Structure 1
Amino acid sequence: MEASFLSAVVLPIALAIIMLGMGLSLVPEDFQRVKKYPKAVSIGLISQLVFLPMIGFVIAKVVPMQPAIAMGLMIVALCPGGVSSNIITFLAKGDVALSVTLTAFSSVITVFTIPVLGNLAYQHFIGQTAAIALPIGATIVQIFLMTLLPIGLGMGVRQIFPEMARRLEKVTSSLAVALLAAIILVLIIREWNRIPGFILQVGVGVVLLNTISMLVGFYVSKLFNLNSPQQICIAIEVGIQNGTLAIAITAGLLNNPEMAIPAAIYSLFMNVTGLIAISYGRKLAATKSLQQPLESKV
């Protein structure tokens, strides 16, 4: 598969399909939940859009890694929550409504924050004299076409043809997983000889970014006295990133496959911590359900 075909065709199509699937699962009420629990939404978005990039920057500076790898890690930290966070939150007995709201809002907001913060990160790690830059205006337009437009189209179909939307959601989910797997496989094949070195650099950074961000999301939520399902939800939402968007930006917009390596490895590793979150959330929910009958008898 040619690199240009991968970055120019496959990546945007894969991301658009994923975003279309997300749109098919959303209704306008999902964006109105901020009125019902503004504190939880605010804490979730601040953890996602402020704390996560800060954590990513510190890790990229402290852990020894090539500039392209550091930039790739930063792009992961700048991306919104992944659509799989909603499924993982559901399985972990977290607040699914809050998860959907945070995914929706972060997907909209990062259309504008990724180009600005990404440009600053690019200048810092790559240098202003680099041949490739991240043009803010063009990047906003491209991210809009790959994310917000498919989401809006999906929501429109959901409103007008609800039955069709339910059927299409299953198809788009399966197709998106297959395309993402194909993209990661192609990246691995192309960089096979250099992967051991990349893993040594990226592995530590990815593990630190994923685990620290999830712990920060969890304990910040706990600090502000959010309930357990909301704590679980925010921890997952901060840790489960939109890896496909990160790959599309690095391998597509920036045309640098090396920068896409952190996103590819992160997309794999976050499923491990996702399973841990599911196990913890279900045990916590079971403990709470056992405590309630005991408390009612006292």
Structure 2
Amino acid sequence: MSAAELISTIFLPVSLAIIMLGMGMTLIPTDFTRIAKNPKAVLIGLTNQLIFLPIIGFTLAIVFGLNPTMAVGLLILATCPGGPTSNLITQVCKGNIALSVTLTAIASIVSVLTIPFILSYALEYFGSDTNVTIQLPIVDTILQIMVITVIPISIGMLIRKYKTSFAKRMEKPMRIASTVIFILVFIAVIAANLNVIGSAMKEVGLVTLVLNIATMGLGFLTAKFFKLDFKSSISVTVESGIQNGTLAFVIATSILNNAEMGIPTGAYSIWMFVTGGFLMWYFGKREETVSN
């Protein structure tokens, strides 16, 4: 097993599951019922992730004149909504964690249906030589969400309910641990992909940076336009701009059997950690705010 495979299949999922456990200890059931009663933020986030992000990716591929392989690679990235990493960043940014988790879970399941449709069109439009039927593993995707996200968070919420004082004491240490793990994962990603980072940045560095900033900007502007509270605005911003790079790599290398299509994801992963890290630093030092 290569270093990159070791990181993506073992280190990253285990680390994120631990962080999800810590997040669960900050949540109570009313955090989710409040979202269910007022689903505006969820609808905004899902619209950004499932509709506008692929449109932005498609537009940028044309504007930057990417070759077919890189264009499809960029579309793969744009169709993969935020994974657990976006939940981690939201936690440190002191955003609405329940909203972030809800968006991740729903978008990940729905994208199993939207990704094949969008990528089939992209392959045809850009004239890629890849002639395959795109079928994502629905059961595996749902199991991944359950194991990495839902189960650890549920356990954390049970700890919060029955060991409330302990859970409250652990809030700050877990936020610090989240930051440390984020940094370690960033270093590990760079180390594992050191041989391709240079060429990836040279070939698609600028367009992936624009994609990252544009999608985060979209999240921020739509949140403000629809007058979401501050913590929910942070969540929608992060969820709109942080993509599931692991899923994108799997689609490119395992389903489409084209490692080159994973190059945009490699470049984007660097920018994602840089901009995500900035948000964690900027919002993480602020005092906690109360959602409306």
Corresponding position of 2:234: 233
CA distance 1:163–1:222, shift in 2 (3 Å): closer
Counterpart contact for 2:80–2:247, Cα < 8 Å: no
RMSD of equivalent CA atoms: 3.9
Equivalent-residue separation in structure 1 for 2:182 and 2:282 (angstroms): 22
2:99 is matched with 102
Query: Which of 82, 89, 101 is the equivalent residue of 2:87?
Result: 82
Shift of 1:53: 3.7
Q: Aligned match of 1:149 in 144, 147, 151?
A: 151
Q: Name stretches of at least 5 consecutive residues in structure 2 with no aligned partner.
A: none
Alignment of 1:158-197 (within 5 A): 158-197=160-199
CA pair 230-165 structure 1, distance change in 2 beyond 3 A: closer
CA 1:106–1:118 in structure 2 vs 1: closer, same or farther (change >3 Å)?
same
- Give the superposition deviation at 1:112: 0.6
For structure 1, list consecutive stretches of 5 or more residues without a partner in the other structure.
Answer: 91-95, 286-298
| Distance of 1:14 and 1:199 partners within structure 2 | 27
Quick check: 1:251–1:259 contact (8 Å CA) kept in 2? no
- Counterparts in 2 of 1:1-298, with a 5 A limit? 2-34=3-35, 37-60=38-61, 62-63=63-64, 64=66, 66-67=69-70, 69-70=73-74, 73-74=77-78, 77=81, 79=83, 81-88=86-93, 90=94, 96=95, 99-120=96-117, 123=120, 124=122, 127-129=130-132, 134-224=136-226, 226=227, 229=230, 232-233=233-234, 236-239=237-240, 241=242, 246-250=244-248, 258=263, 260-271=265-276, 274=279
Q: 8 Å contact 1:43–1:221 — kept in the other structure?
A: yes
Deviations 1:152-193 (A, max 9, x none): 221122112122323444444444433443333233223323
Could you say which structure has the larger radius of gyration?
1
Q: Which residue identity is paired with 1:22?
A: M
Give the CA deviation at 1:9: 1.4
In structure 2, give the amino acid aligned to 1:70. Answer: L
* Worse-matched range after superposition: 77-86 or 190-199: 77-86
**How many residues align structurally?**
269
2:81–2:111 CA contact under 8 A, matched in 1: no
**Length-normalised TM-score, structure 1:** 0.70
Report deviation, 1:239.
Answer: 4.5
CA separation in 1, counterparts of 2:207 and 2:281? 19
When residues 71 and 164 of structure 1 are mapped into structure 2, their CA distance, relative to the original with a 3 A threshold, is: farther
